[in-house]
Amino acid sequence: MMYSVAKRYVPAPDLVQDVLQQVFIDFLHAAVENDWDENFEAGPILNRMTRNRAVELWRKRRKEFSVDYQEIADTLLDGHIESFDENDLEELNASQRLNALRNCVRSLPPKSRKLLEEHYGKGVSIKQLAEKQNAKPNSVRQIFSRLRVKLKQCIRKNIPDCPDD
Amino acid sequence: MIDQSFPNEQEIARSGELTQLFFERSVTSEEKDELLDLWSRYPVLKTNSIEEYEIEQDLHFLGNGSRSLLRYHTEAEHYFSSQVAEREATRQAKQHENGLKKNVAAKTSAKKNKKSLPFGLLVSVIGILFIIGIYSEFRQPRPKETIRETSKGFASVRSTIDVQWNDDASIFKPNSRLDKDRLVLKSGVVEIELDNGSRLVLEGPADFQLDDIQKAFCHQGRISATITPEGSGFVVDTPFFSVRDIGTEFVLDVSEDKAEVHVISGQVETNRLASDWIPLPQDRGLSFDRMGESQKIVADRRLFMSSKVLADKTKVHQERQREFKNEFERKLTGDNSLQLWIDFSDEERSIFSNRATAAKNNVSVRSFGTASPIDSNTGTKAIEFRRTSDRIEINGLEKCRSMTLIVRAKLKHLQHASNVLLASRDYEETSGGFLWQIDRFGRMQFHVRRPGDQSADTFDSPPCILGKDLNTWTVFALVLDFESETLIHYIDGRVAASFPFDAMDELHLDRLLLGNLPAMRKNDTARFFPGLYDKLLIFSRALSETEITEFSDDRAGKR
């Protein structure tokens, strides 16, 4: 759930990780001070903490990115937030989506799956992948774009109630 | 007629390309303008990019991020469970104490009516002394081993042999609990026991994901599985096919090009692409290649790592460890910068009896309280500080500028705000005094008082002691290098954090404490060591990263 909230306010995966790490520390700190126990309803407060931390982090760290990147990111994030009701926790079915995505990746042809594993699992860049395949980087970029569209369609099939973003 | 409100194929492809460039953070100004222009002309392209952005984040999360999230989630669960257990222990202790008080009061009142008054008085005194004894015992309720009792997960690592892990962040030591963890090893052997008694032996290089007690995914590697009747139905998925066990022994060998299953005893079933489960009997095997072509093979029993084979390998491994340890200790003995070496598992170097002293170059080591040797689960000795005043005092070490502290310990929990590894006796007041501890969030901390400063300089690592590191032997090290002006925290030979450190004249090592340090004055903080302490070494120089690794290498330890 926290992951779903964080990625709607920060544009990059590494920033999402930073947000989650900080929110957990904030949460444990607050739990000690307020003497919460395992019956405490943590959902709403975690939701709020994540959103606040994410907004704060992007405000502080946006200078690390180029102005052009910032402009695209702000447009993407605005579009993302418009389509999302953060009070409706039923929509934040992150684990269902991630499980569906995992299964969809597993069902891809081996070549496509390997591309994804190299890039997202091992951090091999698009340029390096293009060199390995003797292809142009833009061709590989198009492949990744098509794969993402394919995975989105596959997830929709696996989760019938998956909302259209 | 061309639909102007919908992009053509080229525009769709170009939008995808530019979106990918954005993800790579290498979009130029012209490309940015081009992308925003495409979005404004075709809102559907913007929607596509937003959807791609979602999937991009999710793919990164699956690739790297889920481990971090699970780690922090597990930490939060452990924290709450231990808090609940501690409150329950306190409540029960109070109930017990109230019950005793009532009993003694009732007995005292009954005996008052008897003629033998002196006898009645004696009973009252004994009763009151008993209450005082019980009350003292419970005044500072000792935390139970809550982490072990309430630890989540459905499997444990039983043993490891010469394992080289792929990623420093995902290292699993013997006795680590496992819960939907992914084990990625470059080499070596890991033995896993599921809570239903089934056993999996993983041989590296391997990449193995535990989903739950009945399911796993093997990306790569060889697994020898012995499945109990309770674990029957255990399924292992691979990129090529799935295997379902029906109470048996089998070997699964997955590489980049093919996967094989060999049935050693009993029967398994295999399944490819959601077809029906096909039985495979004993002594039979199946091989699948990348194209999905299958081939029947004869099961190769030599591939199976049985308990006997594993025991033999473990013996050889332990023998190598012992040889390394002896050689290592010979090297240490010749190091002039080694100021102190206490090894509680070695009776010649340790101190066990109450108030015993051990002199080494004018250094005195004394124990207070009831610190005593105990045998841990593995039969090795260590020291435990059970009462609030149990501690070891070390006096007479020389002052130094650079230093290395090394502690090998097993933490049971991190419920205290200050879980101290080593501290100066009067840290709160002495210039040059220091405190080396772990806080309740798993951060390694070094605090030092500089001359003339009221507060201490603090050097805190990020949270690096995780739930899975509790109840396992861990080597903590701190290196202070006067020459390079750096301070480094290490855990099991890995750098946990590194800081620039303004050199100070000298650090005070002349009066050191380890164990439980009760608050002596009103504003002092009580500090504890909740666990077993095995070794303490203090060097008056900064050891290199390679040297620290030698201490932390499995070969240098007990196992």
Position B555 scores a pLDDT of: 45
What one-letter code names the amino acid at B123? V
Tell whether the model's pLDDT for residue B430 goes beyond 90: no
From the CB of residue A30, how many other CB atoms can be counted at a distance below 10 Å? 13
Best to test chain B binding among A120, A149, A155 (most B CBs inside 10 Å): A120
Q: Strand pairing of B284-289 and B278-280?
A: unpaired
**3-state DSSP call for residue B21?**
helix
Best to test chain B binding among A5, A8, A24 (most B CBs inside 10 Å): A24
Position B130 scores a pLDDT of: 38
Q: Give the one of B48, B63, B463 whose C-beta lies nearest to A25's C-beta.
A: B463
Position A144 scores a pLDDT of: 93
CB-CB under 8 Å, B290 with A38 = no
Task: Tell me the C-alpha distance between B424 and B420, whole Å.
Answer: 11
Q: Give the one of B62, B72, B79 whose C-beta lies nearest to A20's C-beta.
A: B72
Comparing CA positions, the residue from B250, B255, B222 lying closest to residue B234 is B250
Q: Quick check: A151 contacting B, CB < 8 Å? A: yes
Cα of A82 to nearest chain B Cα, Å: 11
Chain B residues lying within 8 Å of A142, measured CB to CB? 13, 16-17, 20
Residue of A nearest to B239 (CA): A106
Task: Tell me the C-alpha distance between B407 and B405, whole Å.
Answer: 7
Question: What digits encode the pLDDT tens for the residues B82-115?
Answer: 555 566 666 666 766 666 655 555 555 544 544 4
Contacts of A40 (CB under 8 A, 6+ apart): A31
Q: Quick check: A25 contacting B, CB < 8 Å? A: yes
Question: What digits encode the pLDDT tens for the residues A31-68?
Answer: 767 777 666 677 778 888 888 888 888 888 887 788 88
Q: Could you tell me where the DSSP H helices lie in chain A?
A: 2-6, 13-34, 43-61, 67-82, 94-106, 110-116, 126-133, 137-158
Please tell me which of A45-54, B16-25, B388-397, B508-517 the model is most confident about, judged by mean pLDDT.
B16-25
CB-CB under 8 Å, A110 with B239 = yes
CB-CB under 8 Å, A76 with B51 = no
Position B477 scores a pLDDT of: 94
Interval A99-116 mean pLDDT: 86
Torsion of CA A160, B66, A57, A124, to 10 degrees: -100
Interval B357-380 mean pLDDT: 56
Higher pLDDT, B99 or B45: B45
Position B329 scores a pLDDT of: 74
Phi, psi of B418 (to 5 degrees): -125, 110
Question: What digits encode the pLDDT tens for the residues B301-325?
Answer: 889 988 888 888 888 888 887 787 7
Best to test chain B binding among A66, A141, A149, A152 (most B CBs inside 10 Å): A141
Chain A residues lying within 8 Å of B80, measured CB to CB? 31, 36-38
Q: Please, what sign has the CA dihedral across residues A107, A110, A116, A122?
A: positive
ipTM: 0.86
| DSSP string across B81-137 | HHHHHHHHHHHHHHHHHHHHHHHHHHHHHHHHTSS-HHHHHHHHHHHHHHHHHHHHH
Question: What digits encode the pLDDT tens for the residues B183-229?
Answer: 998 889 999 999 999 999 999 899 999 988 999 999 899 999 999 98
- For chain B, what is the largest distance between any 2 Cα atoms, rounded to a whole number of angstroms? 119
**3-state DSSP call for residue A13?**
helix
Q: Give the one of A27, A123, A141 whose C-beta lies nearest to B76's C-beta.
A: A27
Tell whether the model's pLDDT for residue A86 goes beyond 70: no
Q: Quick check: A12 contacting B, CB < 8 Å? A: yes
What is the pLDDT of chain A when averaged over all its residues? 80
Best to test chain A binding among B59, B73, B75 (most A CBs inside 10 Å): B59
Higher pLDDT, B38 or B398: B38
Cα of A45 to nearest chain B Cα, Å: 14
* Number of inter-chain CB pairs under 8 A, A vs B: 153
Cα of A43 to nearest chain B Cα, Å: 13
Cα of A87 to nearest chain B Cα, Å: 19
The DSSP secondary-structure symbol of B524 reads P
Task: Tell me the C-alpha distance between B90 and B415, whole Å.
Answer: 14
What distance, in Å, lies between the first and last C-alpha atoms of chain B? 78
The least confident of B407-411, B482-486, B526-530, B544-548 is: B526-530
Cα of B131 to nearest chain A Cα, Å: 30
CB-CB under 8 Å, B65 with A3 = yes
